[in-house]
Structure 1
Amino acid sequence: MFLFKKIPSISTNEIERKLAEKVTIIDVREPHEFVNGHIPGAKNVPLNKVRNYQPKGKIYVICQSGMRSKRATKELIQNGFDAVNIKGGMLRYSGATRGGKY
């Protein structure tokens, strides 16, 4: 029998409230997606580069819909980092953005 650990996740509403705390957010979409609109202060670390990323402290991970960020969060946790997936991704995020429009 396989045991699956649940990936820690929060909603886009919850991350909006946390933005005042100066949290660390990485956006794992491709650069051309990132420039079309992202959460202010988010750092672009495409999914294929997450394995080399060395965050300090708790990190929140977002993508377009939540699938890539879930994979990235799982990989970060397996590498010993404190990571949280943002469910629903930018498609559900309704807060302020930089770059393009959502």
Structure 2
Amino acid sequence: MEFLPYILMGLAVFFLISRMKPTAGVRQITTAELKQEMNNKNKQFIDVRTPMEYKGNHIRQFQNIPLNTIGNSMNKLSKDKETIVICQSGMRSNAAVKQLKKAGFTKLTNVKGGMNAW
């Protein structure tokens, strides 16, 4: 019983690290690298923040599809185009690319640091 708090703390740390770990097979780019790709018409840009966050500040090329609606909005996206995903810090966009990957999207890019780094 005296080890239970350590076990729980270890599980919590493992859970946090696994959530923050980049998704395998997903390209990770910086905001500086993103600027090089902004005018490419063969890419689709998705901002998964809430509509309020998006309205407050967003990058013109990015379409707002909040993370909680991405599952229902995948039919609006092309699996043939590279999908570049951004959020505020990179956590929600990482969760979004995991969902997109499970749905069969293969050309996925996550913006490290998100809008905080922009």
Indicate the TM-score class for this superposition, using the shorter chain for normalisation. Answer: 0.7 to 0.9
TM-score by length of 1: 0.81
- Structure showing greater radius of gyration is 2
Deviations 1:10-51 (A, max 9, x none): 111111110122331100000000001111121000001111
Q: How does 1:22-101 map to 2 (within 5 A)?
A: 22=41, 23-52=43-72, 53-54=74-75, 55-56=77-78, 57-81=81-105, 82-93=107-118
Total equivalences in the alignment: 90
Tell me the percent identity.
40
Instruction: Give the distance between the partners of 2:60 and 2:45, measured in 1 at CA.
Output: 9
Unaligned runs of 5+ in 2: 1-22
Equivalent residue, structure 2, for 1:5: 24
SS of 1:21's equivalent? coil
Structure showing greater relative contact order (alpha-carbon pairs closer than 8 Å, 6 or more residues apart): 1
Q: CA-atom RMSD, angstroms?
A: 1.4
Question: Which 4+ residue blocks in structure 1 deviate beyond 3 angstroms?
Answer: none
Query: Could you tell me the TM-score, scaled by structure 2's length?
Result: 0.71
